[in-house]
Structure 1
């Protein structure tokens, strides 16, 4: 018997089911199977999901540093008690950097680069967008005069990219674990010493590990939908 192609409705339902299955599959892996490695093709796919992620005004305030050197992982782990097991066993370890406030002001060289060279906007439109963005920073979220708040705003956007990378990984059967269990200034010092972070431009937002679980996942627990959603 020849199978008929899925209808549009069936295809729609299949996509929804696959995505929810991926969320059900994903959990925060603490111990990865050190013998199993993620292929280059698969990890490139995960990175592309991060690169294509949304960001405020499309300004992409992130950088992804993939750390595969075991000695460097050990140096980082010395200041990352909440990530030692993952750093020791994961196929791929990633440090997610966020741009500092001086990089994200409306008149910065980075914002000019994004407007003119990446987004390639006509000059009039670019300047209009720059002014709108400046107003947002100063009066919308009132970030401009609070460096900590402005850096945290950049960090929050990196989590959009990280979430997409974790979902992309889960869709193809690859495990992940996001991590904040580290002493920020100490890990940043290591990155600076290793030439992996320019501290005039970036700060460390979070870490993540990718690979394959070494044991079955525990039962997933979540609150019921009615506890977290309100309609009016």
Structure 2
């Protein structure tokens, strides 16, 4: 891929306010977007998240009030809830077992990695630290969607407690952190507006 194609996709990307509810995503495209999120980095490799794909239109209608009636919830082709894990004490052991399996090594070789992970989850700000990491797969999924010509809208403006309760997330040791609506825009006045960004000289400094 050349740099022009890459940057052009990002230039066209915007937070879509109006989706066309009649347009669906192919399974291949949805899978690619989700896979890009799965491949996103995380601190120490903990991957403290789960992606919940809400296809059920009735369920999305029930979620609408929790998102302050933002129509992206119901009109987008797919709604992805990026939830963070709340059973954080399980993460270090899962990490070393996963790493040992993939790398063909005994778990005993990974004591240092486990100690590092255990130190991470004992941070006073561990919940916030893990919550911030969920924005890494969010960004990866938005970027992939843009490259595939798919519109998206990241959403933090929602009542997480209401979403958690409706989907029974506490029982699954999950907390709704952010939402991502994806699909194809409809009659959206923002679709063709020029992107407003600070100049490169304002945001970049070579040291």
Shift in CA distance, 136/180, structure 1 to aligned 2, threshold 3 Å: closer
1:207 equivalent among 161, 179, 188: 179
Secondary structure at the aligned position of 1:131 is classed as helix
- Runs (4+) of structure 1 exceeding 4 A deviation are none
Say yes or no: does 1:169 pair with 2:153. no
How far did 1:123 drift?
A: 2.6
How far did 1:199 drift?
A: 4.0
Structure 1 stretches of 5 or more lacking a match?
1-13
Structure 2 stretches of 5 or more lacking a match?
none
* Contact 1:27–1:217 under 8 Å retained in 2: no
How far did 1:188 drift?
A: 0.9
Superposed CA deviations along residues 163-192 of structure 1, whole A, max 9, x for unmatched, are 011110110100000001111111111111
Larger Rg: 1
Q: Partners of 2:77 and 2:50 in 1: how far apart?
A: 19
Q: Partners of 1:44 and 1:118 in 2: how far apart?
A: 24
1:152 equivalent among 122, 128, 134: 128
TM-score under structure 2 length normalisation: 0.89
Task: Report the count of equivalent residues.
Answer: 201
Aligned to 2:96: 115
How far did 1:119 drift?
A: 4.5
Say yes or no: does 1:73 pair with 2:54. no
* Contact 2:100–2:107 under 8 Å retained in 1: no
* Contact 1:179–1:208 under 8 Å retained in 2: yes
Secondary structure at the aligned position of 1:167 is classed as helix
